[in-house]
Amino acid sequence: MEKTKCLIIGSGPAGYTAAIYASRANLSPILYEGIQPGGQLTTTSTIENFPGYPDGTTGDDLMADLRTQAERFGAEIRSGIVTKVDFSASPYIITIDDNDTIQADTVIISTGASAKYLGLEDEKKFAGRGVSACATCDGFFYRKKTVAVVGGGDTACEEATYLSSLAEKVFLIVRKDYLRASSIMQKRVLENPKIQVLFNHNVEGLYGERKVAGMHLIKNLGQPDESHYDVDTDGFFLAIGHKPNSDVFKPFLKTDAAGYIVTIDGTPRTEIPGVFAAGDVADPVYRQAITAAASGCKAAIEAERYLSNL
């Protein structure tokens, strides 16, 4: 069976940064890219808030740069998906694609989180061209424009409030006739003159040529007064939650109610010595490329210290 000092699972900013630091610490890490090489950022067209890119860059280019940097220092990057883990005893055993197994003295989990979508074909069609799951990432591009946010919880209200500081108009599309958000978040939204809440509404599609130009709405779905109409909008933001890609680890690692891996005292350490979690799979709060990269750095440093103390 193949063995490695450090196995990194996932290839977003956290995984690649962990690979850079682990390589420079002579851990000779092996990184498996997972189901989406480069992570969620590869679905983002333009990134302007990652330090070191004053003119902005694309998600693909940023991830390619991080990958190249990791390989430069000796990280071995492979295609493959982790389908099973055994963290019951060290060295830990990881199964790739239900076939190959590898033993690892340390494991850095950076599998990220997947944004939940409505399941519309148009969401795929306009991905990176008006459809986004991160207002903090992409809101800047909609200054003085009209945008829509889908969702009725705290995240949706927070995204709508943030976007209202940039956009001219914000539509908040809510399936039910009430908001699920906390009272303070509801108050901020309902009292904001730039936000119009559309209760009892569902989105059935988007329209536009090269980018989003508007949305097809259904009001009072399934009711006698059901109606269909269109609303023009420049941006369409999903805020119906994220699902951490943590299922394969749950037999061994503690997760919170939403599935995020629980780490110890703000570090990347998990309850299993030598197993670390970095990036969005352990971060329900910030979910930014820069914070993911920082946690990948910390995880690699923790892995090197763990090995040194063995």
Is the separation of the CB atoms in 254 and 262 below 8 Å? yes
User: What gap in Å lies between CA 30 and CA 23, rounded to an integer?
Assistant: 9
As given in the structure block, the two tokens for residue 22 are: 């682990």
Is the separation of the CB atoms in 20 and 74 below 8 Å? no
Q: Which residues are 171's β-sheet partners?
A: 148, 196
What 3-state DSSP class applies to 38?
A: coil
Is the separation of the CB atoms in 296 and 17 below 8 Å? yes
Distances (CA, A) of 26 to 32, 91, 276, 291: 18, 18, 18, 24
The amino acid at 119 = G
**Known catalytic membership, residue 138:** yes
Catalytic residue chosen out of the listed positions 6, 105, 122, 138: 138
Catalytic residue chosen out of the listed positions 6, 105, 122, 137: 137
User: What gap in Å lies between CA 126 and CA 61, rounded to an integer?
Assistant: 20
Is the separation of the CB atoms in 106 and 307 below 8 Å? yes
User: What gap in Å lies between CA 256 and CA 272, rounded to an integer?
Assistant: 16
Catalytic residue chosen out of the listed positions 6, 134, 157, 297: 134
Distances (CA, A) of 180 to 44, 186, 199, 239: 28, 8, 12, 13
Cite the active site residues.
Answer: 134, 137-138
